[in-house]
Structure 1
Amino acid sequence: MSTTQDRRSVILDNAAHLFATKGIGATTVREIADSVGILSGSLYHHFKSKDEMVNAIISDYLTDLTYRYTKVLASEESPAAQLRELVTSSLANIEAHPHATEIYQNSSTYLPTINGYEHIRESAAVIQRAWIQVLEAGIARGDFRNDIPVRVLHGMLRDSLWLSVRWFKPTPSYSRAAFAADFVSVYLDGFSPATERGRSAPGASTSGVRHDTPN
């Protein structure tokens, strides 16, 4: 990797942290340059504008996520198993891009104003279609309930999952995979005890073992 590529990566990492903590609008180019230890003018050798940095951060995040989802959809697993894998893949992507996740979730009004937003919009549509495809397949098989519109199911799953970035952190006793299994189990089986359920999500914790509660 060249020095220029290294510097671009450092700039994007620092910019993502600032955008996530302060907001895109409240972050200045000078603050980004200061965080990297370079002059503001030098920053423009790597990126033409702050918006170009935002676009690069979000595009990398969405490209990674769509790649993960494509692998899930290519599998021959059941819809319930694919749903679990979509959740697991999403959590893995959140862990890999924590700041980008925050930016994407908190900047819905800002992102459409930047150059290159069309690519972001197209990637978001691919991501939504992945969830809809799995949900519709589960409904068609009779695995998922059919009395709630698919778009509503998707919205409920999406918002509860992506907001978990603000509080869920894996621990040795409660892994990302365990959280994904429990997340899917709650949606498929509800909050009733395992002994009262007729079925459980693949990989869900039904052995009676109590996980440590994540903070």
Structure 2
Amino acid sequence: MAQRLERTPVPGRRKAEVLGLAAELFARDGYASTTVRDIADAAGILSGSLYHHFPSKEAIADAIISPLLSEVLTSYEAIVAAGGPPREAFEALANASLMALERHRAAAVVYEQDRRQLAALPRLAHLADAERTIERAWTTVLERGIADGEFRGGLDARIAYHLIRETIFSVARWHVPGEQPDLERISDQYLRILLDGVVRAKRKKERRD
């Protein structure tokens, strides 16, 4: 009988598996409350072995969050540079955000709940720059829409951005294991509410002669 050969795990694949497990733990328990040993136990390896893949817990968090931010920032840069009508650009920013959050759901939760703490860490200081770039993209589109008269006058672009940001990132927390969110429906309803409101316009009463 031929000897059965054991397959050696592909390092890149194993690293991705560890990152996925760490992301879920960070999202569930928070970055501060999750230890390297927790991640190693979840991955079925010794804590020391984890350092063959990552030099620190900070490095793990960076590797989890960076792909999300890279995708968002690349999309935002292209949308703003295109210089389309403000409403179309607004919709594009929202859709790009929702798609990125779905692809990186756990990372989005970690970033949202722990970003201030993480940004204070030396390895993750770039998060503050990313946050400013994200804000600038949204406020640029909002201010352009206000100036063009496409968005309501008197709107504070910065306040509007923070409200929009909170509602977008909250979508990542709606995840139900085993279920895929209907992003098309979520996006449609989200944009309807933000751009058209929830109050039905009152009909003007017809004057009687």
Category of TM-score, reference length = shorter chain:
0.7 to 0.9
Give 2:111's aligned amino acid.
Y
8 A contact 1:55–1:117 mirrored in 2 = yes
**Residue 10 (structure 2) aligns with:** 3
Distance 1:178 1:75, change over 3 A: farther
Among 47, 55, 69, the alignment partner of 1:48 is 55
Counterparts of residues 148-163 of structure 1 (less than 5 Å): 148-163=155-170
The within-5 A match list for 1:199-210 is none
State whether structure 2 residue 48 is matched by structure 1 residue 38.
no
User: Hey, what's the Cα distance between the residues in 1 that align with 2:175 and 2:96?
Assistant: 15
How many corresponding residue pairs?
193
Residues 75-132 of structure 1 show CA distances to partners (whole Å, capped at 9, x for unaligned) of 3531101111111111101100111111111113421232222322212211111101
Map residues 73-92 of structure 1 onto 2, 5 A cutoff. Answer: 73-92=80-99
Q: Is the 8 A contact 1:84 1:181 kept in 2?
A: no
Which residues of structure 1 form unaligned runs of 5+? 197-215
Higher alpha-carbon deviation: 183-192 or 143-152: 183-192
Q: Which residue of 1 aligns with 2:120?
A: 113
SS at match of 2:84: coil
Supply the distance in 1 between the matched residues of 2:145 and 2:188 (Cα, whole angstroms).
Answer: 17
Partner residue in 1 for 2:129: 122
Q: Give the equivalent residue in structure 1 for 2:73.
A: 66
CA distance in 1 between counterparts of 2:201 and 2:174 reads 25
Q: Which moved more, 1:177-186 or 1:15-24?
A: 177-186
Q: Does 1:19 align with 2:23?
A: no
Q: 1:177 offset after TM fit, Å?
A: 2.9
TM-score, normalisation: structure 2: 0.83
Q: Distance in 2 between matches of 1:115 and 1:7?
A: 26
Distance in 1 separating the partners of 2:160 and 2:96: 18
Tell me by how many angstroms 1:194 deviates.
7.6
Q: Structure 1 residue 175: deviation in Å? A: 3.7
1:55/1:114 contact within 8 Å kept: no
- The structure with the largest alpha-carbon Rg is 2
Say yes or no: does 1:101 pair with 2:112: no
Distance (whole Å) between structure 2 residues aligned to residue 76 and residue 49 of structure 1: 41
